[in-house]
Amino acid sequence: MRTNSFLVRWGGGWAERVKAASVATVGRMESLLGLGALGSLAEVYRVADGQLDEFARARTQTDVSILPIGSGDTPYVGVHVGDRITVQGVPHRVLGFTVSEDQATGRTLYVPTLNDTVVLDPIERMAQAIAKMIPGTLGGRSKVAQPVVPVAIPRGLVSHQPAVHSFTAHISAGSDDGWKTDNPGLSWQDNTAYLKAGQTLPATPLDDMADSWLRFDMTGAPDFTGVTFDSVILRITLDATQPGGARTTFRLLQDATPRNPTSALDWDSNFTAWGPVNLQYDPLGGSAGSPAGVNGTILDVYLEGLFDYFVANVSGTPAAVLIGHQQGWFGSSNAIYYGLMHYYASEGAHPPELIFTWTA
Amino acid sequence: MLDNTRNRGFQENLSEPGSASITFQNDDPDLASMVPPNTLINFYADGVLAFTMLAETFDAILLDQGEEANEATVWAGRGHLALFERALVYPSIGVGRRPIEADRAFNWTAIAYDDSAWIAATSICTVFHAKFNPPGDGAWDGGVPEVQWDPTFPDNTALIIWASDGTVSGAGLGDCYFRQTITIPADGNYTLFALIDNYGEVYVDGQLVMSPGQSQALEVGFKTTSKITLEFSAGSHLIAVKGTNAVGTGSNPAGIAWAIFPSDALGNIGSVLDHSSTSSKIVEYATQPPGMTPGKALLLAIIEAQTRAAGDALAFINLLTVSFDAVHDSAGNPWPVVADIATKVGTTLLQFLRELSGTYIDFYMAPGTLTLDCWMLGGRGTTPGVDYHSPTNPNDANTGNLLHHGEKGEA
């Protein structure tokens, strides 16, 4: 129930404030507002009018549960208490977060509090408001509230844990980065847009896309120390490869120290020497010349394998994931998109869980 | 790192301490590090330091049929903003003073208010003159009984004071604010008398004690003397008066006058101790009462608490820093001057912060720090451009980040 007429108790006695517009619309609804020690009637009016602005409207509570996609929409990384956000395009202010763990998976669950904290019955609501307005001690220690357990998140859509919260993408640039064993005269297109996009590398126009690479520097969260992720899936999408192209191979490599490949040897030796991750997928059979059937299709490539460099990655230290492509033919108006689209981890008997996803 | 704990969770709320809890197995050696009452636990959300809990209560199961699995201890507590409950808003100049200061004002009536920029009040005439105004001597003149001041006012030598444009025959319309410090020579009862043309309010050490004319059609605060007998402790005290000239023209004067006498408890007075004079300072015709910023009020309360805890290395208040000052909030934006901040003496600093958050401020203490941030109301936060939405591609659940969206409301 809303309120549009306050009987105000203040230092000088009683006063009354009415929000006429609301009274004209819904009728007079009275409540008590205690302002205690305020000594100026003008200030009493100012404070009471502010409260009437709040309580003369019908209050709404918005309940949401979220599944952050990246660092940008992850609580305490990209969005904080007090921030103004939108939900389905409707503006809200974040009044709080409830954060807890799923005991089965250890994942972090977030429940934002938006709009009014809670829709209370009128007496409780006024008591809550007056608790802020009436000066005075609490008369004893307040009960410590337990955090609310958020609603369950369906299996298969699993919140990340613990998330890499900072990605910096670098792609090969310049003429010959040492990976171009074939067609060295070709080079990457302007990379500026790609760096912004992060996850897509349209090669347009490009007939023969030479060897290329995409490097993600990951800044791990502090509690990455000692955490082992034992499975990673890299998704690569090929859009209409050209028949007759050369072998197309993708590799996922790891490097404890972010760096760019500097020579052709990096592809086969240096990077693979850094750890067990040397994932390879050849969608075209590993031989020159492509079957025509690949043309005109979108091909998702999943690379999966052990991936445990975070074991050695200490708090806050960036590490790199390198995605390599070893030459291929593509239609002149076609594209190759690749990047760390999804990022799975599994531990023990638990099935793989999506812990990171990247949106277009 | 409390790696062996479970059921970890917290709830952070805007301008509130929030709460948290964490469960230890009883055989967890980390449990020994929980030493009340000053244990703070940092909570990380996906590796980001997000919340600091003040460990306040524990619930231990020492023996259970489920054995070790159920023998655990839950520590719970509010966010470390709860540390502000360890200090109170004290009376202005400490305890033991009279009159008893029930309300602590952070405005122009406060003893601690800085009135160095105020000017001296202007003397209009003596009360004697206005009581027995001779014919032809201005508006308080003519021997007209309707405009004579109350003849029972006990101090004829008290000055009627007002703004610099005031005369015995006219003054501007509006509110004027006066402050004058008096010295009480010894503990005892004292009676304060006041007259105001047209009406107003009288404060002693920040406490509203009289409202001359307020209940008399708002025009005749000079026709009947208001008085109150109070216990005063020896030392300096502040008499603050708001005077309103509400009905006036060029032929309508305005003024205030007061006098204080030692007396017995029944109000039988001795010789005058002090009265209104040009030692009063004034703000003339202010559109709103002179005030102070929320930052200034908070700093006063905090600094006083630090002074009381001087030399106490364990006191939280001595470890506290703030990211705002009396002029600017934590974002560097200038505070508004607020006309009337007040709270009950004995209010905890946490409750004082919460009261201020109802109308003036957002407040926060970043996890892992003891630095208080305060912004103007609504000032905390940014607009990061985040939208929680359903999947944009109905065939790919990963194109959305909103799992559940519900609303409920009231009529």
Phi, psi of A279 (to 5 degrees): -85, 140
Token pair of A95, please?
């009044």
How far CA B86 is from CA of A96, A280, A314, B119, B214, in Å, comes to 24, 61, 38, 39, 40
Which helix (H) or strand (E) covers residue B128, if one does?
A: helix B127-131
* Contact state of B340 with A96 under an 8 Å Cβ cutoff: no
* Contact state of A135 with B342 under an 8 Å Cβ cutoff: yes
Q: Best interface-test mutation with A: which of B386, B392, B399 has the largest number of A CBs within 10 A? A: B386
Amino acid (1-letter code) at residue B68 = E
What b/e string do you get for B109-137 counting C-beta neighbours within 10 Å, with b at 16 or more?
bbbbbebeebeebbbbbbbbbbbebeeeb
* Contact state of A119 with B409 under an 8 Å Cβ cutoff: yes
* Residues in contact with B396: Cβ distance below 8 Å, sequence separation at least 6, in sequence order: none
Integer Cα distance of A12 and A249 in angstroms: 82
Contact B78/A at CB under 8 A: yes
Q: Which of residues 88-117 of B touch A (CB under 8 A)?
A: 88, 102-105, 107, 109
pLDDT at residue B324, rounded to an integer: 97
Per residue in A250-293, pLDDT tens? Answer: 444 444 454 555 543 344 433 333 333 334 444 444 443 333 33
How far CA B377 is from CA of A60, A97, B348, in Å, comes to 21, 19, 20
* Contact state of B11 with A99 under an 8 Å Cβ cutoff: yes
Nearest CB to B77; choose among A2, A144, A220:
A144
CA angle B126, B132, B138 (to 5 degrees): 75
Cβ atoms < 10 Å from Cβ of A309: 23
Of the listed ranges A99-113, A117-131, B219-233, the one predicted with least confidence:
A117-131
Nearest CB to B410; choose among A73, A95, A119:
A119
Q: Best interface-test mutation with A: which of B207, B244, B388, B405 has the largest number of A CBs within 10 A? A: B388
Contact B12/A at CB under 8 A: yes
Contact B405/A at CB under 8 A: yes
B280 to chain A, closest Cα gap in Å: 20
Most confident of the ranges B167-176, B262-271, B367-376: B367-376
Q: Best interface-test mutation with B: which of A81, A117, A356 has the largest number of B CBs within 10 A? A: A81
What pTM, to 2 d.p., does this model score? 0.65
- Residues B21-47, mean pLDDT to the nearest whole number: 86
Per residue in A193-249, pLDDT tens? Answer: 222 222 333 333 333 444 455 555 554 444 444 444 444 444 444 444 444 443 344
Output Rg (C-alpha) for chain A, integer angstroms: 29
B204 in Cβ contact with B244 (< 8 Å)? no
Please determine, for residue A144, whether its predicted confidence score (pLDDT) is greater than 60.
no
Output Rg (C-alpha) for chain B, integer angstroms: 29
Per residue in A312-336, pLDDT tens? Answer: 333 344 445 555 544 444 433 334 4
Contact B6/A at CB under 8 A: yes
Token pair of B189, please?
């009862």
Of the listed ranges A35-49, B143-157, B293-307, the one predicted with least confidence:
A35-49
